[in-house]
A and B are shown apart, each in its own frame.
Chain A
Amino acid sequence: GNSVTQMEGPVTLSEEAFLTINCTYTATGYPSLFWYVQYPGEGLQLLLKATKADDKGSNKGFEATYRKETTSFHLEKGSVQVSDSAVYFCALVSGSARQLTFGSGTQLTVLP
């Protein structure tokens, strides 16, 4: 079956630091990959996506590249802000599953 493994949190960084949150996956076929962000008490918002190998998704300074050879989709940002503090979820959907498979989430706290 499909599975997503995310870097354990929580992660605490100072403002303007570089961020990496690791995500690896196991899936049948050729999945689409997503990063979602959840702010306290809210639903999930789609942050970025990639639908095929070597695609790079990007949004609001965040980037992630679909690496089929390493089955990874690591999230990066060059300079984090306090407002980036949230929980980040890596997820995938494969054509046969029709449902998202989520990682367990990584809590990010950015200190001023």
Chain B
Amino acid sequence: DGGITQSPKYLFRKEGQNVTLSCEQNLNHDAMYWYRQDPGQGLRLIYYSQIVNDFQKGDIAEGYSVSREKKESFPLTVTSAQKNPTAFYLCASSIQGGKNEQYFGPGTRLTVT
């Protein structure tokens, strides 16, 4: 089955630690995205990548970093510089091109204490 996997589903970290969230897709999509969702709110774009070895900042990139070394993988690192990292993180992918729908993974809920 084609799809997007995110791991782990739940993640707990101590304040001051960096943490990396995994996102893998086997849909052969060129574009991948990371969103953050806070309770009762919509999704906000963190980073996106249209092609391997290239990525751009979204609306709330501060305190986050990404890499895109392989087409199928787009890991997100939440650094200690992120002031309020506790949130639900969603990865998505789409066919290259401006107006195509995005397909989402199941999400990772990160709790930092």
Q: From residue B71, how far is it (CB to closest CB) to chain A in Å? A: 17
Q: Does residue A46 face the partner (Cβ distance < 8 Å to B)?
A: yes
In the complex, which residue of chain B has the Cβ closest to the Cβ of A97? B98
Say which residue of B50, B98, B104 sits within 8 Å of A45 (CB atoms).
B104
Interface members, chain A 25-52 (any B CB < 8 Å):
31-32, 34, 36, 41-46, 49, 51
**Which residues on the B side are within 8 Å of A95 (C-beta)?**
98-99
Q: Does residue A89 face the partner (Cβ distance < 8 Å to B)?
A: yes
Q: Does residue A102 face the partner (Cβ distance < 8 Å to B)?
A: yes
Q: Does residue A94 face the partner (Cβ distance < 8 Å to B)?
A: yes
Interface members, chain A 96-112 (any B CB < 8 Å):
96-100, 102-105
Q: Does residue B42 face the partner (Cβ distance < 8 Å to A)?
A: yes
In the complex, what distance in Å separates the CA atom of A42 from the CA atom of B105? 8
* B99 adjacent to A93 (CB under 8 Å): yes
Given the interface pairs A94-B98, A94-B99, the reply to whether A99 lies near B33 with Cβ below 8 Å is yes
* B104 adjacent to A32 (CB under 8 Å): no
Given the interface pairs A99-B33, A99-B48, A99-B58, the reply to whether A51 lies near B99 with Cβ below 8 Å is yes
A contacts with B: majority SS:
loop
Q: Does residue B55 face the partner (Cβ distance < 8 Å to A)?
A: no
Q: From residue A97, how far is it (CB to closest CB) to chain B in Å? A: 7
Interface members, chain A 73-107 (any B CB < 8 Å):
89, 93-100, 102-105
Q: From residue B56, how far is it (CB to closest CB) to chain A in Å? A: 9
Given the interface pairs A43-B90, A43-B105, A44-B104, the reply to whether A98 lies near B98 with Cβ below 8 Å is yes
**Which residues on the B side are within 8 Å of A99 (C-beta)?**
33, 45, 48, 58
* A43 adjacent to B99 (CB under 8 Å): no
**Apart from A32-B99, A93-B99, A105-B42: 9 A-B pairs, beta carbons within 8 A:** A34-B101, A41-B109, A42-B106, A43-B4, A43-B104, A46-B101, A51-B99, A93-B100, A104-B41
Residues of chain B touching chain A, judged by Cβ–Cβ distance below 8 Å, are 4, 6, 31, 33, 40-43, 45, 48, 50, 58, 90, 92, 98-107, 109
